[in-house]
Structure 1
Amino acid sequence: MKIRNKLTLLFTAMIAALMIAFALFVYYTYDQYRKDEYYRRIHQQAITKANLLFDTKVDSSTLQVIYKSSNDVLFQDEMAIYDTDFNLIYHDAAEIDKVKETRSMIDEILKKKEIMFEANNLQIVGFLYTHGGKNYIITAAAKDKPGLAKLANLRFTLITALISAIVIIFIAGRFFSKQALQPVSNLVDNVNEITVTNLDLRVNEGNGKDEIAELAVTFNQMLNRLERSFNAQKDFVSNISHELRTPLAAMIGELDLAAAKDRSEEEYKHVINLLRNDAQKLVRLINGLLNLAKANYDEINITLRDVRLDEILLDARHDIITSNKDYKINLSFEKEIENDDFISIHGNEYLLKVAFMNLMENGCKFSGDKSCNVIINYYKDKTVVRISDNGIGIAEEDISKIFTPFYRGKNKKYAEGYGIGMSLCNRIIHLHKGEIYVSSEVNKGTTFTIELPHV
């Protein structure tokens, strides 16, 4: 069953239950009031007739004739008078005797002074009556025809009103549930339009305040993650196929050239060295592509923990110097560290090390003296790392594109590369909720400033 139908039925059932409870309360309250009022009326009528009998000395037969022939409401009740010994003194219609008095009933009236009950659709009252110093027992019975007619009319009115109200409530509930769930229907329509070819589409977030809007916002956030992941995979496949083609083609060409005719041992060694250099380039390219792919993963898929930036920078410096004996990297603190938390961040040690190694290698690679300077500083809410060199610098028109994957500027003739390093650094820093800035002047040097929030 659809939620709209469930809501409609639930709403209708809840309101109907409340209305039925209210109607029953009204009905039974009115019925009880009618009974109590009619008991008092019968009691008063019985006293009036008893007074006529005892005070005005109206003949019993006359009262009986009046009872049998009158349609007056005042005389519609059947009355009987007994003494305390259960001797009948007067009866409106002894041959009918609707009450069927018994000795036990008389005793009960004597004990309780008054009783009221119903029998055979009659309301019956029995009470102790004192006149002229003597006690009498009076019973009276009557059927509240006008009251019962009003009660029946009230019952009909309530039932009719309930049925009409329930129908109206059902129709209104269906309408309002449709209106309330219309954003969900729109959301479903929007979702059905989104396919692998148009992951950039987003669902309408409505007013941005209610639960449906929260669902839409959450779904759009999920689409953002899916789109990033899908685009990262697509870019990775596209990039790796494009970039691997060149070194593989070169290796195949060298092998074909070597196999074209017999060559000397020196020539074969030369070809092997060429192949070895190409293979090393291929390894570096593959490592760069794999790191770029890992950095493009969603944050929730990357393990983060509290790490010290100075330790990561020292490890990165050690690895670079070990691999490149002619590189020089100077690491220093701009001011004394007062608290370890000032240089500790919540991040992934491997990815941060990859980013800093790329920046340090670039600084050394494009400097004439193969050196760069790394300075660590901190502020109230962030840690700052500046990596600078005195190299060839970056042209102004290249700075805006430096973080674009596989983009290589005018300085590409000075050193080999594939244009992966800077885009990889940019992605890693942003993955850690940080920022990276670059300032450069041609032939004077370049400075990369990395800001990361500390713990």
Structure 2
Amino acid sequence: MKVRTRLTLLFTLITAMLISFYGVAIYYSSKEARETSFYTELKSEAVAKANLFFQGALSEKEMHQLYKNNTQTLSEVQVAIYDSHFNLVYHDDSKVDYVKETPEMLSKIFKSKQLFFFLDDLQVTGIVYSHNGQQYAITAAAYDQYGYNSINHLLTISIISFIIILVLIYLAGLFLSKKALSPAVKMVEQIKRINAGKLQLRLDESEEKGEFHELEKNFNQMLERLDNSFSTQKHFVSNISHELNTPLAAMTAELELALQKNYTQEEYQKIILNALTDVKNLSKLSGSLMDLAKASYDPAEISFSEIRVDEILMESYAKIKKENPQYKINLNIDPAIDEQKLIHKGNPYLLLVAFNNLIDNACKYASDNTCFINVSAVSDHLSIKLINNGLPVSEKDQRNIFKPFYRAENSFDKKGYGIGLYLTQKIISLHHAQIQISSGENTTSFQITF
């Protein structure tokens, strides 16, 4: 069932329940009011006829004639009068006795002074009347034809009105739900046009602020992220294919060359050395891609624990020195720094990868293969600054240096894949830290702030 239909039916059902409650309340309150009003009329009629009878304004015969004449035009009240010994004193029409008073009934009337009850469809009032020091029980009974007609008419009008109102409410609900959900219908039509090849399309955002505006805005933001992700992936696959093809092509050429003729031992060693260099480059690229894949996991899937940043930094220092003895690394940790600032939640492996990339880059692109590392506290934050001397990085390169596979203009003469700094930036972000680059005339520095 469509949301529009479901909302309309729900709206109609709730309205029907409210109208039903209102109608039932009106009906029963009108019914109670009719009963009370008619009991009052019966009581007044009983008193009036008792006055006529006891005060002698009309004879008993004239009162009987008056009752018979009235019954021909309306539902006349039938009155009976009994004395305290339950003897009948007067009756409008004893041949057609509606109430058929019994001693038990009369006793109740004398005891309670006033009694109201139903006898089949008749309403009956019993009261005690005093005259010349004696008490009489008077009963008055009649069928409220006019009152019942009014109540039945009210019920009929209410049912017809209820059905008409429900139909109108259902139609109004369809119209209002269509109008209210029109932005959603429009969104669905636009979404149908979006596929993997058309991720650049966006939903038209409505000017009116509301839930649909928020949905459109967030959906467009999701499309933006997907578009960037697809573009990055395509770019990634394109670059990886190229980077993997280069060492594989070189290795293939070297080995094919080795098979073409016999070479001296020295020449074979040179060919093997070239192939080994290509294998190492391929292995390094493969390792970088594995690290990139790990850093691209959902943060919730990466295990974090309390680590000392200075220990990870010293481990990275030792690793780089071991692999590259020609590098000169000066590590300076401010002795005044609070030890608590060195403890953070993090992943040791990923953080080691990030430090390795930064130290290796700093040494590789320095004119003297020297990197200065300063660890200090800046405005209550842990700061790690890596500085090297070398060619400056242009402003354009600084803006793009953390993009995947991007290589600065001054790096083309060095072996690299453009993955290291992109990977480093992702790892630093995963640790809720920031990394910034600044470059002067002969100095370039990377600063990490936790």
Indicate whether the TM-score tops 0.5.
yes
| Residues 1:447 and 2:426 aligned together | no
Match in the other structure for 1:357: 356
Match in the other structure for 2:94: 94
| Residues 1:58 and 2:61 aligned together | no
Matched residues in 2 for 1:98 and 1:394: separation?
115
CA displacement 1:301-353 (0-9 Å, x = unmatched): 4444443322221111111001111212111135621241x234444332332
CA displacement 1:259-284 (0-9 Å, x = unmatched): 11122333222211111111111111
Matched residues in 2 for 1:434 and 1:106: separation?
98
Cα distance, 1:202–1:335 mapped onto 2, change above 3 Å: farther
For the 8 Å contact 1:399–1:438, the answer to whether it is kept is yes
For the 8 Å contact 1:45–1:75, the answer to whether it is kept is no
1:259-408 → structure 2 map (5 Å cutoff): 259-334=259-334, 336-340=336-340, 342-380=341-379, 382-394=381-393, 398-408=397-407
Give the paired residue count.
Answer: 450
1:101-112 → structure 2 map (5 Å cutoff): 101-112=101-112
**What is the TM-score when the length of structure 1 is the normalising length?**
0.88
The alpha-carbon deviation at position 134 of structure 1 amounts to 1.6
Match in the other structure for 2:8: 8
Matched residues in 1 for 2:128 and 2:155: separation?
36
Match in the other structure for 1:145: 145
Give the secondary structure class of the aligned counterpart of 2:97. coil
- Between stretches 289-298 and 52-61, larger displacement belongs to 289-298
Cα distance, 1:404–1:19 mapped onto 2, change above 3 Å: closer
The alpha-carbon deviation at position 157 of structure 1 amounts to 2.7
Aligned-partner residue type, residue 358 of structure 2: L
Match in the other structure for 1:69: 69
Matched residues in 2 for 1:74 and 1:420: separation?
105
For the 8 Å contact 1:302–1:348, the answer to whether it is kept is yes
Give the secondary structure class of the aligned counterpart of 2:249. helix
- Between stretches 312-321 and 399-408, larger displacement belongs to 399-408
| Residues 1:257 and 2:257 aligned together | yes
Matched residues in 2 for 1:404 and 1:39: separation?
93
- Between stretches 20-29 and 105-114, larger displacement belongs to 105-114
Match in the other structure for 2:195: 195
CA displacement 1:214-235 (0-9 Å, x = unmatched): 5555555655554555444433
Give the secondary structure class of the aligned counterpart of 1:337. coil
For the 8 Å contact 2:82–2:89, the answer to whether it is kept is yes
Cα distance, 1:20–1:33 mapped onto 2, change above 3 Å: same
Q: Which runs of 5+ in 2 are unaligned?
A: none
The alpha-carbon deviation at position 64 of structure 1 amounts to 0.4
The alpha-carbon deviation at position 55 of structure 1 amounts to 0.9
Aligned-partner residue type, residue 151 of structure 2: L
The alpha-carbon deviation at position 131 of structure 1 amounts to 1.0
The alpha-carbon deviation at position 247 of structure 1 amounts to 1.0
Match in the other structure for 1:234: 234
Matched residues in 2 for 1:173 and 1:116: separation?
48
Give the secondary structure class of the aligned counterpart of 2:94. coil
Fraction of identical pairs, as percent: 41
Cα distance, 1:54–1:290 mapped onto 2, change above 3 Å: same
Give the secondary structure class of the aligned counterpart of 2:384. strand
Aligned-partner residue type, residue 373 of structure 1: F
For the 8 Å contact 1:377–1:384, the answer to whether it is kept is yes
Matched residues in 2 for 1:57 and 1:409: separation?
126
Give the secondary structure class of the aligned counterpart of 1:279. helix
For the 8 Å contact 1:229–1:296, the answer to whether it is kept is no
Matched residues in 2 for 1:304 and 1:187: separation?
41
For the 8 Å contact 1:236–1:293, the answer to whether it is kept is no
Matched residues in 2 for 1:381 and 1:171: separation?
65
Cα distance, 1:311–1:68 mapped onto 2, change above 3 Å: same
The alpha-carbon deviation at position 396 of structure 1 amounts to 5.8
Give the secondary structure class of the aligned counterpart of 1:95. helix
Give the secondary structure class of the aligned counterpart of 1:330. strand
Matched residues in 2 for 1:202 and 1:311: separation?
48
For the 8 Å contact 1:366–1:414, the answer to whether it is kept is no
Cα distance, 1:80–1:317 mapped onto 2, change above 3 Å: same
Aligned-partner residue type, residue 126 of structure 2: G
For the 8 Å contact 1:233–1:293, the answer to whether it is kept is no
- Between stretches 427-436 and 205-214, larger displacement belongs to 205-214
The alpha-carbon deviation at position 147 of structure 1 amounts to 2.2
Aligned-partner residue type, residue 389 of structure 2: N
Match in the other structure for 2:410: 411
- Between stretches 105-114 and 402-411, larger displacement belongs to 402-411
- Between stretches 421-430 and 236-245, larger displacement belongs to 421-430
Matched residues in 2 for 1:283 and 1:386: separation?
29
For the 8 Å contact 2:365–2:411, the answer to whether it is kept is no
CA displacement 1:409-450 (0-9 Å, x = unmatched): 4434653223332333333334444433323345x2322222
Cα distance, 1:299–1:169 mapped onto 2, change above 3 Å: same
The alpha-carbon deviation at position 299 of structure 1 amounts to 3.8
After the TM superposition, list the runs of 4 or more consecutive aligned residues in structure 1 that deviate by more than 6 angstroms: 71-75
Matched residues in 1 for 2:125 and 2:159: separation?
32
| Residues 1:173 and 2:173 aligned together | yes
The alpha-carbon deviation at position 213 of structure 1 amounts to 5.0
Matched residues in 2 for 1:327 and 1:384: separation?
23
Give the secondary structure class of the aligned counterpart of 2:5. helix
Cα distance, 1:62–1:134 mapped onto 2, change above 3 Å: same
Matched residues in 2 for 1:199 and 1:294: separation?
26
Aligned-partner residue type, residue 123 of structure 1: Q
Matched residues in 2 for 1:406 and 1:59: separation?
123
